[in-house]
Amino acid sequence: MNSPIRRLAVVLAATALSATLFHLGTGLTPVPWLTWLAPLPVLTLAHHVGARAAFLAASAAWLGGETAMWGYFLDTLELPPPMVASMIVGSALLFGLVVLSSRALMLRGRPLAAVAVVPAAWVAVEYAVSVLSPNGAWWSLAYTQADVLPVLQTASVTGPWGITFLVLVVPAAAAVLLAPLPAAPRAAGRLRAAVTTAIILSLAVGYGAWRLRAPYGEGAEKVASEKVALLAADHPGWVPVASPEGRAILGRYTARIPDLAKRGARVVVMPEKAFIADDATLPVLAAPLARLAAVHHVDIIAGLILKRSGGLRNAAVDFPADGSRPVEYVKHHLIPGLESDFHPGNREAFVPGSGSRWGIAICFDLDLPGLVRDYRRSGATTLFVPAWDFDRDRWLHGRMAVTRGVETGLTVARAARNGDLVVSDAYGRIRAEAHSADAPIASVLTALPTRSADTPYTRFGDWFAWACALLLLLAPASLARVQPGRRRGAAGPRRAPAADATAPDHAVARPTA
């Protein structure tokens, strides 16, 4: 086998390996430790081959890893094919450019910058998507680590962006260490990059371990005085509450509430859009739930579609334990396309009489960090969240809500049909969990912590994402910096006219002193 064929085989192997690792380490059910490994093959390859081969390999690896998401976007979310193509293909091309940037910095003798540009650029991309897209911060590598609690605690300082940074800085540093000597600067430069990365990772994991040992973890169990119950029955579509089917489903819920109240439930949360009602049929739902709430001294939060004034509203109505007037919350953030006919809300809502300020939100609201931060700044310590998932995305969507809780120091109690019922504390620990399809009507009951955890992210917001954007802006300065021993205005390294596309640039580049 001649040299060009061997190089091509290496490029294809690295691309296939990264694509496989991305496929397993990202998506709807990721394997978290594989996420850290996924970029390594193509990042390492980039320091051994030409720019075109590096770009194509990295882009193809990302594209291959995201193949499983095509069906989810097209069939489950029913997004337009052009939008899906632009998201997946566009992100693949961006990843290729990020890898090229790291390669270029390494060739210029800037190993630390070559490491930093990979996570900084991707954080900037994720943050830009979260700001510019109506889908918010749903697209992030951070959620792959939602079950790795020491890493997840980073979100309390940086938001999800810090976790993405960690996941990418490690393989970027490993790739720089594995770069061939002719293209690499002195060993001291690579050592600085490795030590800096090790310090960042140690500080993050050490902080996470320290935070998980905080008194809140043990003390919360001892001082918890009230409980939350989550209920969910799977059924398709929106059921008119006054129809025979609607009355039957409502009866299944109301039959379970007295027992949960006897077992200590202070709040019962039902799923999103369990029913649809207008002003004429709303009493069919409101009367029995209000009566149960008053008799058993339990707040009951029901998710339903309210048809009023010729429009639809995705609402959660709390029927208070003290028999007072119901509290209505209307979903702020609507799913593009699927909820285009709905009117959004613009007000926060709290459970009346909750000394610890219990807030109410709905499903997709928790895909956007800003709303949750607003609740925390308003004094909320817990969010009750009616939800409706698509089953296949139940783990990911539920863990996004868990991440919001860690970011802001909130307990999150999320009741989803076609999904999971999850209660998580301010540190991302799962206090109770069940799958809605495991029983005709699934339920969980657990104690609510009475303490919250103040976080820097609540106070300072997306400062880390902006810092990464600033770091990214400084990268061109590193590229333009004149290398020692090379006179100003001198031409850069040139490739021989007949060089193969997979041949490394460093084969003809001058090593840095």
- For 497-500, the CB contacts below 8 A with 24+ separation are 499/50, 500/4, 500/7, 500/50
Residue 462 backbone phi and psi in degrees, to 5: -90, 45
- For 347-354, the CB contacts below 8 A with 24+ separation are 348/374, 348/375, 348/378, 349/316, 349/318, 350/380, 351/267, 351/299, 351/301, 351/318, 351/320, 351/327, 351/384, 352/318, 352/320, 352/322, 352/324, 352/327, 353/320, 353/321, 353/322, 354/382
Max CA pair span of the chain? 86
Distance in angstroms between the alpha carbons of the first and the last residue of the chain: 36
Residue 207 backbone phi and psi in degrees, to 5: -60, -45
pLDDT per position as a tens digit, 330-378: 999 998 888 889 999 999 999 998 666 899 999 999 999 999 999 999 9
Closest to 303 measured CA to CA, from 330, 279, 284: 330
Helices (H) and strands (E) counted in the chain, each on its own, are 18, 12
Question: CA 393, CA 338: separation in Å to the nearest integer?
Answer: 16
Task: Please return the burial class of 150, using the count of CB atoms within 10 Å of its CB with bins 0-12, 13-18 and 19+.
Answer: middle
pLDDT per position as a tens digit, 8-38: 899 999 999 999 999 999 999 999 999 999 9
pLDDT number for residue 138 = 84
Spatial contact of 426 and 382, defined as CB atoms under 8 Å apart:
no
Position 481 pLDDT exceeds 50? yes
What's at 309, amino acid-wise? S
**Could you tell me the two tokens for 260?**
């949960």
Residue whose entry in the numeric block shows the structure tokens 């939008």: 83
Average predicted confidence (pLDDT) for the chain: 88
Position 413 pLDDT exceeds 90? yes
- Low-confidence winner among 191-200, 221-230, 469-478 (lowest mean pLDDT): 221-230
pLDDT number for residue 288 = 97
pLDDT: is 506 or 20 the higher one?
20
**Could you tell me the two tokens for 257?**
């509430």
Strand boundaries in 97-244, DSSP class E: 226-232
Position 147 pLDDT exceeds 70? yes
Closest to 318 measured CA to CA, from 346, 344, 354: 354
Helix 51-65 with 81-107: angle, nearest 10 deg = 140
pLDDT number for residue 2 = 56
Alpha-carbon distance values, 474 to 99, 116, 172, 477, 480 (Å)? 16, 11, 18, 5, 10
DSSP string, 232-258: E---SSPPBTTSHHHHHHHHHHHHHHH
pLDDT number for residue 77 = 79
Position 496 pLDDT exceeds 50? no
Spatial contact of 367 and 391, defined as CB atoms under 8 Å apart:
no
DSSP 3-state assignment of 315? strand
pLDDT number for residue 234 = 92
What's at 263, amino acid-wise? R
- Low-confidence winner among 297-311, 369-383, 408-422, 475-489 (lowest mean pLDDT): 475-489
Closest to 413 measured CA to CA, from 372, 444, 368: 444
DSSP 3-state assignment of 510? coil
Residue whose entry in the numeric block shows the structure tokens 């064929």: 5
Position 48 pLDDT exceeds 90? yes
- Low-confidence winner among 224-233, 243-252, 281-290 (lowest mean pLDDT): 224-233
- Give the dihedral of Cα atoms 294, 299, 302, 303; nearest 10 deg: 150
What's at 300, amino acid-wise? I
Percent of the chain whose pLDDT exceeds 90: 72
pLDDT number for residue 220 = 43
| pLDDT (mean) for 305-334 | 94
**Span 225-452: which CATH code?**
3.60.110.10
Instruction: Determine the length of the chain.
Output: 513
Spatial contact of 165 and 98, defined as CB atoms under 8 Å apart:
no
pLDDT number for residue 218 = 43
| pLDDT (mean) for 97-104 | 96
Half-sphere exposure of 20 (CA within 13 A, CB side): 7
- Low-confidence winner among 76-85, 167-176, 332-341, 461-470 (lowest mean pLDDT): 76-85
